[in-house]
Each structure stands twice: as structure tokens, then as C-alpha cells.
Structure 1
Amino acid sequence: MKVCRRSAALVAASALILGGCGSTGGNNSGGSGSSAGSKVTVEFWNIWTTEPMKTYGVNAIKEFEAQHPNITIKNVATENEAFKSKITTLTQSGKAPDVYQTWGGGVLKQQVDAGLVKDLSGDAGSWLGTFTDAAMAAYQVDGKPYAVPEDIGMVGFWYNKALFKKAGIADAPSTWSQLIDDVKKLKAAGITPMALAGKDKWPGHYYWAYLAMRIGGLDALKQAGETKDFTGQPFVEAGQKLKELADLQPFQKGYLGAAYDKPDGQAATMGNGKAAMELMGQWAPSVEKSSGKGIGDDLGFFPFPAVDGGKGSVTDAFGGGGGFAIGADAPAEALEFLKFLTESNEHRKAVQTGGVLPVLKGEEDAVTDPNLSVVAKNLASATGFQLYLDQAYPPAVGQEVNDSVAELIAGTKTPEQVAQAITETAKSE
């Protein structure tokens, strides 16, 4: 299992990834110069709110502070959806945290264009060369690195083998039509087919994005990003097929008000064995266990199915990872902390928790979780890669994708209206 073996495919595919002014830390020396041993506070914005990364982060910060008595790390951990809103509000005011979570793509580019992010190419030295090319792809803007990866992976279906067996399903589906048939079988057996966080919206966009990929291929997404036109056949048909699924009422009761990682949310529904599937990224097993009980050996994984007659390949992956950027006016100690988190010995600890996948060259043997190994193997054979649409596109466009797809799933927007709304937002940017 070697995540970095996919770098050739993903570097080539990275072209498909479309694509502040004051530190928020206290007692900073100002700018990016060193404080020469004086007391400095570095504000660290992250989404490490669930296990295992929650505990890992606390321990990593303690270790760093023990090694650097003059530096205090202010840990600002915020749930994923709340984080996105919070960082958008801050950057719109012309500021950025010292070190903060990013998914790269169009969102990072917009922050770079606003002068809020530190260019890491000038003083990062050989450090940047320790990352795999694939992992770094989403964080390059105009050929320069403005963030570094901490995780990388893909979205796919996590499923409950015991519930599939109970419904008489022998094998995971490989085509969309088979998936639809399996949903019907699960419902007939009295089993909730899928868990979904309707309130958070971003999990729903995974379905529409993957369907557009499978129908039109990666080129369709690239072209739409360039022309700002999402009214073409692949996008309308993606909506039609998603509506076909939604009309079967496959999701858990109350899904429209469900968050992702809350006790009554998507991950807990799956982790407590109350749904047969969820479409989610590589972090799913750990969040299922953190939010619910986890289903142990009953948990399996399969890639998003092919669509009959579609131009996309089942080996084209959709996903991304987490990374960290540094605010333009952060103190030098912010870079020191980020280097600490991503140096080999420390990052291997994070990988060994099962919370993240390797982003450093030669780190693959640190993966011990069998579920993550399956994801890594799928990534290793990936023929193409697309970043999450709500990160690949400018923030307003990504938000419209999430909002419109959520309305489609809820039955208040048609496939054509979804495509038109996203197009109008893209053209207004």
C-alpha cells in the first residue's frame, strides 16, 4: 500500500483542481520576523474536534510548547461547518489566523489574491520536498506553495457488511443501477439504506459531484470551471439520477436536520449500525467511532459506482485532504510550529492514530488501520482526481453547489434549476 504511487496520475490530474492582513495571535512581535526568544502566542485554527485527532492535537501542542517555552499555541478547534463560516467571516474582514486549516483550491486562491496568506516558497527550504507531489497539488497557487498538506484521501461509500447480508446483498455495487437496486433491497428488509447530514449540506454535494464525474468525466468538470457553465448534460443528468435516489427516501428519519458529527447525526447513525451506507471521506471510520460506537469488522468500503454509458472511469477519485496555511502577518514562530506538525517523526504519530493518511514520502508503512489501507489502495490505482467542488471553486460557487444540491435532495429544486443556479453564481463571480 503506497499512497505516493498515485502521484503520477494525480499530478497530471491536478490541473483539474480549479483553480490575513493582521495576525490574530496575542503578544506577537509583528510581521513575520522572529521574536528572538520573547513570549509569543500563535493562534492555531483547526477542525480537530473529534477523536483521534482531538487528543492527538492536544498532545502535539503540549510537546511543542515543552520544546519551545517562549511559544504558546492557542488551540482554536472548531467543527468543520462552523469553521468554514468562521474563517470566511475573518478573511472577509482582511485578516487571517496565524496557522489555519485549508483545503486548497479556489478558496485558498481567493485568500492568496487578497494578500492574506504567506508564500512558503521563500523560507521553507528542503521541508517542502518531504511531501509527495500529489499531496501538495491542491495548495499551489500560480506555481507557488501557500499551504502544506496534513492529510489526503478520497470519498467513497462506507457500508455495513452485516446489514447488506441481512438484505440479501452479496457484493458491493459497481454500477449506479446496482446501487439503486440495493437501496430498494435494504428498504424492503426494513433497513435504512443511507445516512446523510442534510443540515450540513456539504455531504450531499458528494453525490452530485461524483455523478457528474461518472457521467461526463473529469473533463466536463474542468470545462465547466473554465466556462462557468454547469447547464450541460452531465450536470443535469447528475441531478436527475440524484433525484432518482432521493425519491426512494433512502436516508434516515430527520436527516434534513442532522449534522455530520453530532450524537444524532450522520456519522453516529452509521456508527451505531442504524444505516447501511454513508458516502464520506477517509476520516469516516474514526468519526463513526467518536460520534457513535463504531461497527468494527462489519465496516467495508467501495468506490463510487460507475454510471452506465458514462464517460468517467470508476477509478477517477473525488476528495482531497486537509492542510494548513500561515497568515501573511503571522510571526516566524507560526512556521516553526507548522514544520513541527509535519516533520516525519511527529506526522507519523498522527498517521498511526488512524486520523489521517500519509502526505510525506516514505510514510506509508505508518498506516495500520485496515479501513484506511483500503482507501490508500484505491488512491494508489486512481486514474484521475478532483478536489471537492465546494473547495475547488470560489467560495460563493461552492456554497451554491452545496445549497442547491441540498434543495434537490429535499425535493424543492429540479435538476435543471440546480444547474442554472450554480451557473448564475459562477458567472457573477
Structure 2
Amino acid sequence: MALGRRKAVTLAVAALLIGGVAGCGGGGGTGDAASGSASSGKVTVEWWNISTSEPLKSFWVQKVKEFESAHPGVTIKNVPIENEAFKAKLSTVTQSGKTPDIYTTWGGGVLKQQIDAGLVKELTTDAASWLGDFTPAAMQAYQFDGKSYGVPYDIGMVGFWYNKALFTKAGVTTPPATWTEFLDAVKKLKAAGVTPIALAGKEKWPGHYYWAYLAMRIAGLDALKQAAADHDFTKPGFVAAGTRLKELTDLQPFQKGFLGAGYSTPDGQAATVSNGKAAMELMGQWAPVVHKDAGKGLGDDLGFFGFPAVEGGAGSATDVFGGGGGWALGVNAPPAATEFLKFISSAQVHRAAVETGALLPVLKGEEDAVKDPNLSVVAKALAGATGFQLYLDQAYPPAVGQEVNDSVAALIAGSKSPEQVAQAITDTAESE
């Protein structure tokens, strides 16, 4: 389930770019049920979501029944759709200027395109009494110009998942807290005959995590926001991020054949770590689930640490990078859709969803609902984050996000310099 959420980030970006969402006009539900039945005192709310597997599939079925029981005359048309089918179907309906009443969104640049096309209901006023219940980090991807256009249901962060036994074998006694310590750990692992890092070079998006985090640590979050506004990624902090990443790649830290490796394939990034063939990977909170699916799993040997600080950098080590899923409302969604959104976002319902193990908290004070020890570390890090940066391939317009992925992949492969990466991203941003 968690893997599907992250894959959907890049898939949704691609689909909506191809679909030309920004060129759509108008808005409204996908059918006549929401508006056409209001005069009879009955209303149907169409809800597209990606909860096609357990435990959330059954969980939401039950919550729909509870809501309908408490709201006579309201029918929630629950439409779970697999990720790839979802992004294709949503792209098709948005091209015609429509959306479901409630639908899954990952926020960022794709949601902004839908907003600019007039397809999304603003929630700032209608949900004012409960928007403050969400953590600031969780809400960030759904807010633009001080207004809210969606709410989160899940959030996570990227960090290093590592094999404690392999660290011990190499004499790495504590997780590295600085970039210098991290490079030293890589050298110690190699000296001990251990592959330091697994990477899915073929899929590109895992590689952009390194450049993005280094840019955060060196240039700072404000610099990333400013670069998006003035379309300039050539400033020293971004070039330095590429230079630091090249320091890492020059150590040849990745597994053999990493440029052709997938993420969740039997011989991919997750399986390489899960089967003890590499010491760590930089990945999101879904990693433990994928480890179990793709390999043997590390059990108690699995640990987690945040991306290290870079000495002299302007960014904070407590700023985190990640993303999650959320809900948006179609611009013509009926009031019942807002009521249902409030219900599934309530503390009681969301805490129960978190306790299934499928989600991480987006509401304040829910960290204790996370039972898995490693995910608890992630939840606490998120709760204490001083800043939050959405995945760059989701935060920026789709073409810019794709260029980040492509250019960073070229840097890791040795075919682009740090300066060329910065210039390529800038050129794409200026053309948008």
C-alpha cells in the first residue's frame, strides 16, 4: 500500500502533464448525482480513492456506512481505484473540466494546476473550524497563497533505513549525524566488504532524494521556494548540492548494476537491503513494508536515521523531506462532501486509521497511535520537524520535477556535472 502511494506521485504527475489539466475549463462532479438530486432532499457524493487493499479498503467501507447512518438522505459512492487506473481516469475527467466530488490528491504542483483550471473547491472558510487540527507539515502541500484546497490523510518522510548488523560489522557504532560522518561510514562499509547503499537507478525518483536533501541542508528551504518562484536553480547552494552528491558517487557506494535496477523488483533496491546485500537505502516511510514484500526482511536489525546535517549549510537538520496523500473537493461538490471530509478527518476516525498500521498521523498529538517502533521514530521526527519540503517531483510543475529526476540521475551516472544539473533544471523552469 505504501509503495503504491509513492509510485502514484510520479505516475500522477506524468498523467496530468500529458492530460493538459491546466487547459481545462469549468468544474463540477463527474455525474449528475450530486447536483441533480438535491431538490429531492437526497444527495450522492462520489468519492474516488486509492484504498484498494487491506486494511484501508474494509476500513473505509465501514466508515461510509457509519456516516450514511448518521446522515439520512446522503449516499457516499465509494469508488476505490488502483493507482495507475486512478491517475488515468482522473486525467480523463479533468480534461473535460470535471472532477469527482472528493478525490485523492498528492498536493503540490499537480494540485496547483487543477486549482488554476478552476476545478478545486477552496476549503479555507468552510473547514476553518477544523483545519487547525492538522500538523503544519502535513497541510503544507495543500495550501497556496494562504488558502487551503485540500486536507491530508497520510504523511511521511524520507530518511535512511539501515542494517544494524552490517553497520556493526563495519565498525559504524552510531548513525552518522553529519555529511562528513556519512561519507566516513560509507568508506568503512566498503572497507569491510559491505555494499554501502542500494539504489534503484533505473527509476530515477529515488536518486533525486539525495540532491533534494542536500539542497535543503546547504541552501535551505527558503532557497528552494525562491528558486521555484524566480526559476533559478543555478545559485551556489544548488551547485554545491550536486558537488556533495558527486563526492558520494565518486566513492562508488551503490550495488553492482544499480543503474538498471528497479525499486521493488526481486533484484531491486528494496530487496537488496532486505536480503542483507547492502547496508542502507534513502527511502520513505513505506520501506519496511516493501522490504517484507521484496525480500526476507531485516526484523530487529532494521533501523532508521534522518538525513545528516551538512557542515556550514544554511538548512536545519530537523527540516524533513517527504509527502503523503490527501483529499481535494471538486469545485461543485455539495455541502455533504465537506461534511464527509470532516468526518473522515476527525480525530476519532483518523486515529483508528493510523492504528491499522496503514497511515502515519496528520493530526496533532496522534504520535502515540503508531505502534511500529521504526515508524514511531518517523512519526516523532515529523511531529518535531522545523520545516517540511514536498518531493521536488511533486512540489514543482511536472516538467520541472521530471527534469530534476532526469538530471540528478545523469549526475549519479556520471554524465552530467553539478553545474549542468543546475542549468538544466533552470532552463526547464524558465520555459514553463
Q: Distance in 1 between matches of 2:246 and 2:40?
A: 57
Q: How many residues are matched?
A: 402
Q: Distance in 2 between matches of 1:97 and 1:263?
A: 36
The counterpart of 2:83, out of the listed 61, 65, 78, is 78
Residue 400 of structure 1: aligned partner: 403
Residue 45 of structure 1: aligned partner: 49
Residue 149 of structure 1: aligned partner: 152
Give the root-mean-square deviation of aligned CA atoms: 3.0
* 2:73 aligned with 1:64: no
Mapped contact 2:28–2:97 kept (Cα < 8 A): no
Letter of the structure 2 residue corresponding to residue 61 of structure 1: W
Higher mean C-alpha deviation, range 282-291 or range 405-414: 282-291
* Structure 1 residues 197-212: aligned runs within 5 Å: 197-212=200-215
For normalisation by structure 1, the TM-score amounts to: 0.83
* 2:195 aligned with 1:196: no
Q: Distance in 2 between matches of 1:32 and 1:226?
A: 44
Q: Distance in 2 between matches of 1:35 and 1:204?
A: 54
What residue ranges of structure 1 are gaps of 5+ in the alignment? 1-19
Mapped contact 2:137–2:385 kept (Cα < 8 A): no
The counterpart of 1:177, out of the listed 164, 177, 180, is 180
What residue ranges of structure 2 are gaps of 5+ in the alignment? 1-23, 70-74
Mapped contact 2:28–2:119 kept (Cα < 8 A): no
Letter of the structure 1 residue corresponding to residue 313 of structure 2: G
Give 3-state SS (helix, strand or coil) of 2:282's partner: strand
1:197/1:228 CA distance change after superposition, 3 Å? same
Q: Distance in 2 between matches of 1:244 and 1:378?
A: 27
1:56/1:331 CA distance change after superposition, 3 Å? farther
1:203/1:158 CA distance change after superposition, 3 Å? same
Q: Distance in 2 between matches of 1:66 and 1:313?
A: 45
Tell me which of the two structures has the higher relative contact order, counting C-alpha pairs closer than 8 angstroms and 6 or more residues apart: 1
Mapped contact 1:286–1:354 kept (Cα < 8 A): no
Higher mean C-alpha deviation, range 100-109 or range 222-231: 100-109
Give 3-state SS (helix, strand or coil) of 2:313's partner: coil
Identity of aligned residues (%): 67
Letter of the structure 1 residue corresponding to residue 375 of structure 2: L
Residue 244 of structure 1: aligned partner: 247
Give 3-state SS (helix, strand or coil) of 2:420's partner: helix
Give 3-state SS (helix, strand or coil) of 1:297's partner: helix
Higher mean C-alpha deviation, range 218-227 or range 332-341: 332-341
* Structure 1 residues 314-393: aligned runs within 5 Å: 314-330=317-333, 334-393=337-396
Mapped contact 1:306–1:314 kept (Cα < 8 A): yes
* Structure 1 residues 108-123: aligned runs within 5 Å: 108-123=111-126
Residue 163 of structure 1: aligned partner: 166
Letter of the structure 1 residue corresponding to residue 420 of structure 2: Q
The counterpart of 2:190, out of the listed 184, 187, 190, is 187
Mapped contact 1:41–1:72 kept (Cα < 8 A): yes
Letter of the structure 2 residue corresponding to residue 204 of structure 1: G
Letter of the structure 1 residue corresponding to residue 201 of structure 2: G
| Aligned-pair CA distance for 1:104 | 2.2
| Aligned-pair CA distance for 1:371 | 0.9
Higher mean C-alpha deviation, range 241-250 or range 158-167: 241-250
Q: What do the CA deviations read for 1:158-186 (whole angstroms, capped 9, x no partner)?
A: 11101111222212112222222222322
1:125/1:237 CA distance change after superposition, 3 Å? closer
1:116/1:335 CA distance change after superposition, 3 Å? same
Q: Distance in 2 between matches of 1:219 and 1:353?
A: 36
| Aligned-pair CA distance for 1:33 | 5.5
Give 3-state SS (helix, strand or coil) of 1:179's partner: helix
* 2:269 aligned with 1:270: no
| Aligned-pair CA distance for 1:22 | 5.5
Q: What do the CA deviations read for 1:205-225 (whole angstroms, capped 9, x no partner)?
A: 110011112222223223322
Higher mean C-alpha deviation, range 151-160 or range 320-329: 320-329
Q: What do the CA deviations read for 1:88-129 (whole angstroms, capped 9, x no partner)?
A: 676456443443332323332222111121222344363434
* 2:258 aligned with 1:255: yes
Q: Distance in 2 between matches of 1:205 and 1:371?
A: 23
Mapped contact 1:228–1:427 kept (Cα < 8 A): yes
Q: Distance in 1 between matches of 2:39 and 2:263?
A: 40
1:301/1:396 CA distance change after superposition, 3 Å? same
